[in-house]
Amino acid sequence: MSDLYQLLSDVNVQARSRLSIDSFSVPVDYAEPDGPHIRIFLRNLIPLDEAKGSGIDAAESDLPYLLYLQGGPGFGVDLSFSVDLGNAVSSFCPHSREGLQDLTIYYEQASQEKTLWLDPRGTGLSTPITADIFQTKQMDDEAIAKYLKHFRADNIVRDCETIRHFLLDGKKDPEARKWTILGQSFGGFCAATYLSFHSDGLKEVFIAGGIPPMVDSPDPVYEALVVKVEERNRVYYAKYPQDVRNVRRILGFLEGNNVVIPNGGNLTVSRWLQLGLQFGSHGGIDRVHQLVFRAITDLDTFGKLSYGLIDSIQKTQSFDTNPIYAVLHEPIYCQGRRAGWSAQRVIQKNDRFVWEKVRLMSDDVPIYFTGEMIFPDMFEDYHHLRPLRGAAELLAYDEDWPMLYDKEALKKNQVKVNAATYYDDMYVDFGLVQQAASVIGNVEQLITNQSFHDGIRKHMESILTTLFELSKRERD
């Protein structure tokens, strides 16, 4: 571990910040504080004096905190992204002052915030969850399912509160014991849970593409999102009409051949169609087309798919390395109701997503790629999900899910919430977001059709500028 500490501590954040790492021991189940514990890792990005720029002389220990909550579920912090976003927050105002004359002194002070980057429980360095760990512990399906139930937003927020109390309870000023949070995608879901049950720990909230649908099960989510996935498929085939026949040809090949992924998984018809997950991000349509083009070239040249192509597909699909993303993707919406393989049930209602039906139609009928959806057959096609198949089945039909949101508390919310909402978001439905935003008090939104779900990565400066402006603007 010392080498890892040294590696991360030596990162030079463009000579503007210093990176340190802390770890915290927290209970797996907060209802059993004396039971098994896990470690939570937190990176702390501290601005150097030369980067403060605002002329405010504050001791490092007095600098306010901004906590970043990662998207997912099931992903740790991307270090390169944390460096980029941390620099944007810590040096945004002083380095962009000419274009930001209207920003107030509060966000001049943002140039002095320490940004914290949490690997949520079960991800990154935070006692990560992988199938082989369960095998090593010789846990059965029921034990695995019981363990995984503790890795949703409610416990991620409890971890945050444990860390906040440790870091800030010593402050004399009650306001100094609060911190600001920025939630991307699923991190925004966590922010809404935070506002529901622990708003007294929050100074302000920023959300990018992550105001959560206020639902009890994933069915309404997928019924809404499938419309957007259809739309993105139409855009794809309008841009690359030759791929109507090309994709059908590839699926015909996969149907008749056993294609094994380098790590031992299977490249099936269903897994190929899951490449449509990329349609929800900038450049995703073009990336999928490139894979289709390479596959057709392989079939024309070799009569099979090349190792290079298959390896590229494996690298685009992260379920093997991030199993929480698969196992808990539907349960993150559950409150007292079961998921029941919601995406599978919803998608089967539309023939265009069902290869067994499309293949019987004429050659000019496109098969639609699927979106951010989890299917039962993934726990056979992905090598490292196979050991979790039984647990995933148990979780899919489990109805004992605690509440994630308190609508009455959210209606009374006084913490300022500034949210970037993407009209064309393929992962978080715009209509459901507006319903949720009407429930949460004190919310202002940047609504745009110029960004997809990964807007904060692709348009970081413009989105942060607007969110900062929303934060401190006065209503007239």
Based on the fold, state whether residues 290 and 339 are members of the same structural domain: yes
Based on the fold, state whether residues 175 and 257 are members of the same structural domain: no
- Number of domains observed in the structure of the chain: 2
**Per-residue confidence (pLDDT) for residue 106, from 0 to 100:** 31
Burial of 85 (0-12, 13-18, 19+ CB in 10 A): buried
Instruction: Match 């030759």 to its residue by tokens.
Output: 242
Q: Which domain holds residue 171?
A: 2-214+405-472
Based on the fold, state whether residues 203 and 260 are members of the same structural domain: no
Based on the fold, state whether residues 149 and 71 are members of the same structural domain: yes
Based on the fold, state whether residues 420 and 363 are members of the same structural domain: no
Based on the fold, state whether residues 225 and 208 are members of the same structural domain: no
String of b and e for 324-362 (b: at least 16 CB within 10 Å)?
bbbbbbbbbbbeebbbbbbbbebbeeeebbebeebeeee
Domain closes at, from 345, 373, 396: 396
Does residue 185 have an active-site annotation? yes
Does residue 306 have an active-site annotation? no
Based on the fold, state whether residues 227 and 352 are members of the same structural domain: yes
Give the angle 241-247-251 at the CA atoms, nearest 5°. 165
**Do the bridges between strand 443-448 and strand 416-422 make them parallel or antiparallel, or are there none, so unpaired?**
parallel
Exactly one of 453, 454, 459, 471 is catalytic; which is it?
453
Based on the fold, state whether residues 250 and 375 are members of the same structural domain: yes
**Per-residue confidence (pLDDT) for residue 263, from 0 to 100:** 96
Single pTM value for the model:
0.89
Based on the fold, state whether residues 280 and 258 are members of the same structural domain: yes
**Per-residue confidence (pLDDT) for residue 301, from 0 to 100:** 98
Based on the fold, state whether residues 366 and 301 are members of the same structural domain: yes
Instruction: Match 């930001």 to its residue by tokens.
Output: 100
Exactly one of 119, 159, 243, 425 is catalytic; which is it?
425
- 86 alpha-carbon distance from chain centroid: 18
Based on the fold, state whether residues 304 and 206 are members of the same structural domain: no
Domain closes at, from 368, 396, 424: 396
Domain closes at, from 351, 378, 396: 396
Residue 176 CA: distances (Å) to CA of 62, 78, 200, 211: 8, 28, 12, 26
Cis omega before residue 212 (within 30°)?
no
Exactly one of 185, 217, 270, 451 is catalytic; which is it?
185
- Contact at 8 Å (CB) between 272 and 312? no
Tens-of-pLDDT digits for all 476 residues of the chain? 333 333 333 333 343 556 678 899 999 999 999 999 999 999 887 665 534 444 434 455 567 889 999 999 999 987 665 555 555 554 443 322 222 222 222 333 344 567 899 999 999 999 999 988 888 888 999 999 999 999 999 999 999 999 999 999 999 999 999 999 999 999 999 999 999 999 999 999 999 999 999 999 999 999 999 999 999 999 999 999 999 999 999 999 999 999 999 999 999 999 999 999 999 999 999 999 999 999 999 999 999 999 999 999 999 999 999 999 999 999 999 999 999 999 999 999 999 999 999 999 999 999 999 999 999 999 999 999 999 999 999 999 999 999 999 999 999 999 999 999 999 999 999 999 999 999 999 999 999 999 999 888 888 888 988 898 888 877 66
**Per-residue confidence (pLDDT) for residue 45, from 0 to 100:** 73
Does residue 49 have an active-site annotation? no
Based on the fold, state whether residues 242 and 306 are members of the same structural domain: yes
What CATH number is attached to the domain comprising 20?
A: 3.40.50.1820
**Per-residue confidence (pLDDT) for residue 124, from 0 to 100:** 94
**Dihedrals φ, ψ of 379, to 5°?**
-80, 5
